[in-house]
Amino acid sequence: MKKHRFIVLFCVAALLLQACGSSVLVTQEATNTVSAGKNAISEVNKFHNSIFDTQNQLAASLLARNSSCNFGTSIVIHTNIARAGRQKKEQGLCLSDAELKQWQSADPKEKSLLGQKIDLMPMERSSLTSSMDILDAFAVYLDAINKHTASPTTPIASTLKGVAEELAALQGNVKILPDAVSSKVSQSTALSDFIGYLEKLIHNSNDAKEIAKIVGTEGEKQEQNLSVIATDADSFYTTYIASMNATLTTSLGDYYNRNKGSKEFESVDKRESFLLALFKQQQLNSKIKASTSTAGKAIRLFVSAHRKLRDSITGKYSEEQKAVIREENIKELKEGLLQVANAARLAM
């Protein structure tokens, strides 16, 4: 009898240790996921910075080499220095003040003959930075919910409060984005919804059943909002390529081909410095075009991970099945984030 009781107690203890071990493993893996997320976001941000740095370098290089161009975020270049066989050697890259006034008042057809406008900085970085900041906050939230799901006694209120405060500060930054920024509305919506969602979770942080209910009923909305931000991030890459190809690389390349016999390009050094700036920008454009949207991919990885976690919470699974789903989900997210980080590094 005693021997039988000992065996029963031993088996119960073994099961408890196994459950505890699974919970600890999920907690450790979730923490590693946050680190992987921060690393991927950091690499994506570095890639974005390299894009804008190259854009700025090309703009600065053009303005510095051409005294005919005034400082600004856009310039208007001569359509052709040697028009109708008459080479105007006194002309520089940009229209003079008098020519610029004439160009501004001209009708569209005449405008294209007089000069062509080039946006030196066709893209701004604020909205991309905001999208990555939102993702960073979402990663911390997902980590907290993962841990709480694995072990419902895990305290999460303080972590979620920190996330909500971070998002509230970010909301102020998004509000001052120019109205022309297409992602302003989607980011504002995502932030408002996410903050409201977090407040409900914080209020019910000691009630595991209510937490599961809130994640199950309102978590999908957060996924939808993030998916829209991912689409915005995708459009950045396509818009950037189109803008830089149309307004910088192609226009300035055509300008060089039409005017390489002019005084502006009379020496090898002058031709080389102009072409080096264009080739550097072309190389970056090719890398971006060949790679997927690293920002969009990172966001979608977290959306997918949240969807699977939400399904494990609301679905009719045994505790063992839920644990397997969580572990596989975390592993998949980590591997995906590593791929995003590597892709961002290779694109630089």
d(CA 318, CA 67): 73
pLDDT at position 90 is 53
- Where do runs of H (alpha helix) occur along 176-318? 184-203, 208-243, 250-259, 268-290, 294-314
Element containing residue 330 per DSSP (H, E): helix 319-347
pLDDT at position 242 is 78
What are the backbone dihedrals phi and psi of residue 76, each rounded to the nearest 5 degrees, phi first? Answer: -120, 120
66 falls in which pLDDT band (50, 70, 90)?
Answer: confident
pLDDT at position 65 is 79
Q: Give 183-229 pLDDT, tens digit per residue.
A: 889 999 999 999 999 999 999 999 999 999 999 999 999 999 999 99
What are the backbone dihedrals phi and psi of residue 147, each rounded to the nearest 5 degrees, phi first? Answer: -65, -40
Count of residues in the chain: 348
Buried b (16+ CB within 10 A) or exposed e, 208-224: eeebbebbeeebeebbe
d(CA 74, CA 62): 11
d(CA 293, CA 131): 13
Lowest mean pLDDT among 3-17, 130-144, 152-166, 264-278: 3-17
pLDDT at position 51 is 84
d(CA 320, CA 12): 16
pTM: 0.78
**Which residue, 256, 269, 296, 337, is CA-closest to 40?**
337
pLDDT at position 7 is 41
